[in-house]
Amino acid sequence: MGSHPFVICDVFTDRPLQGNQLAVFTHASAIDDGLLHALAREMHFSETVFVYPGDAAADFRIRIFTPNVELPFAGHPVLGTGFVLAAGTTAGAIRLRCDAGVIPIRLDREGEALRFGWMTQVTPRIEPMPQPDALLRALGVQKAALPVDVYDNGVRHAFVGLETEAEVARLQPDLAALARLLPSTGISCFAGAARRWKTRMFGPGLGVPEDPATGSAAGPLAVHLARYERIAFDSEIEISQGVEISRPSTLFARVSGTPDRIERVEVGGSAVIVARGEFSL
């Protein structure tokens, strides 16, 4: 029987019991691979992370699981794991390797306390979604305010713009239909203007009916808005998510480049550690 310690933190918030929950198993080399998915289902958060020793390019390697699948990348697990591993150190940066690549995180401190982090994400691949009408029907909306495109930075998201934040708040999608249509893709619905945007992300095929805060979608949202001239390149946006499921979250994102050449995608936020424990298995 082994002891497997874990840390729980709330990500994209500076207040405990808000944001997106994350479990981080900090010494995963001692855990049999066959237990990883079972542990993720036991935690039953949007994602659970398992941490391994790093290499010359990264301080640590991580694996990310939803209750249903393993992901090559996800935003709140990367940022939250950075906070967990840097806690109790003086590190101003940390590099995490996931299957999508090495993600660097810059950490802002106030004294010894971690306050904020910015991760540089993989530049997403972009493709238009063919015949999005079935997706709009499953969401229960008549039309999208912008073209519906799919972005892939290690996890796929389809972006559906609506005219008002109230429309986003009222969404009651057919989750079973979404899972059939896009079994390996999240659906990010958004509205807003200028610096402030509201989103909801539905991922029933990924095992996440609705996500409280989706860092992997925040960077591509900034790209999407900049490509369609809703924001300027190099401007910072603030994203509100999770209110409808009582987990209010705040994410920040910015993108540099041009519509034809995306140069840098960054997503930022805070995180707080709320619990520690261990499994004896």
Amino acid at site 205 = G
Distance CA 47, CA 215 (A): 12
Query: 47, 70, 127, 236: which one is catalytic?
Result: 47
From residue 18, how far is each of 141, 169, 210, 274 by CA, in Å?
Answer: 29, 18, 15, 10
Q: Kindly state the helix (H) or strand (E) to which residue 42 belongs, with its residue range.
A: helix 33-43
- Any catalytic annotation for residue 42? no
Contacts of 65 (CB under 8 A, 6+ apart): 36, 37, 39, 40, 47, 48, 49, 50, 71
Distance CA 147, CA 160 (A): 8
132: number of Cβ within 10 Å: 19
Active site amino acids: 47
